Amino acid sequence: MSIDDEVSQLQRSPIFANVERSRLKLLALNAESALFSAGDAIIQMGGPPDAIYVVLTGKVGIPNGDIEIGHLVGLVGGLLRRPHAVSVHAQTAVHALRLPISVFMELMEHCPQTALAVMRELARRLNDAMRVALAVEVTS
């Protein structure tokens, strides 16, 4: 996949849909591509938060929620700079973009649009988590 294809793929994702093409290109240019086979751990629980992965194709098993293109793996650990709290495995062959933490942080600084997209994603996850928590409360 060339950079241009990767950018097009990212544009199809809900997270990055509203980000300008040139900003996405900056993201892709700074990432390495990473290929996982089915069953490979993308991040490992307790592992060091050295990079954030943006899924381009393939299925990733996450505790709850939908698997989407543009899903960010390792985001929470990376932002907090804490060992990962969960493991995430590739369920099919996965093609992702790997952004080392330092590069990711720089990107956030340089590019408010991308930062906003990431914030929106975090808010969505928080929202999901709260809804789950509420549901648990209601049922109990």
Partner 1 sequence: MERAFFAYVWQHSRKEQVIVLLLVALSLPTYWLSLDLPKQIVNDAIQGKAFAAGVEEIVALRWTIQLPAFLGGQTLAVFEGVTANQVQYLYLLSFAFLFFTLVNGGFKYFINIRKGVLGERLLRRLRFDLFSRVMRFKPEALRTTKSAEISSMIKDEVEPIGGFFGDSFITPVFLATQALTALLFIFMQDFLLGFLTACILAVQALIIPRLRREQLRLGRLRQLESRKLAGRVSEMVDSATLFRNHGVIPFYAAEIGDRLGLLFRIRFDLYRRKFSVKYLNNLLAQVTPFLFYTLGGYLALNGKLDIGQLVAVIAAYRDLPTPVKELIDWDQQRADAIVKFEQVIKAFSRDLLPEETPREEVQAVLTDGKGPIRLSGLRYIDRRGTLLLDQLTTTIDRPVHLALVGPPSSGSLVLPKVLGGQVSDFTGGIWIGDRMLGPLTEPTTSHISYQGSDPAILSGTIRENIVLGARRGTAPPNNALRSLDEHEQREAIRTGNPGYSAAQDWFDYGRLGIDGPAQLDMLVVEALKVVGGFDSVFLAGLRGPVGDNVEPDMCVRLVDARMALQDRLESLGLAPLVEVFEASRYNSLATIRENLLFGSPVGPRFSEENLVRDPYVRSVLSAESLAEPLVLIGLKIAETVLDVMASIRPGSALLDRYAAFDLSDPEALQRDCEEIRLRGFSAASHGARQNLTRLAMNYVEPKHRLGLIDEAFRARLLRARISFRMFLSTAAQGSISFYDRGSVIPAMSIEDNLLFGRIGTHIAGACERLEATLQTILEESGLDRFVVQQGLGREVGPGGRLLTPEQRATIALARSILVKPDILVLDQAFSAFTPRDAAQIRQNILRNSSGRTLIVTLGDDEPLDGFERALVFEGPRVVADKRLPETEQGGGLKDNQAAE
Residues engaged in binding partner 1 (CB under 8 A): 1-6, 22, 25-26, 28-30, 32-37, 40, 42, 100, 102-103, 106-107, 110
- Shortest spacing between CB 38 and partner 1, in angstroms: 12
Nearer to partner 1, 102 or 127 (CB): 102
Nearer to partner 1, 89 or 125 (CB): 89
CB count within 10 Å of CB 58 equals 18
- Shortest spacing between CB 89 and partner 1, in angstroms: 11
Cβ burial 102-120 (10 Å sphere, 16+ → b, else e): ebbeebbeebeebeebbee
Per the listing, tokens 């790997």 go with 98
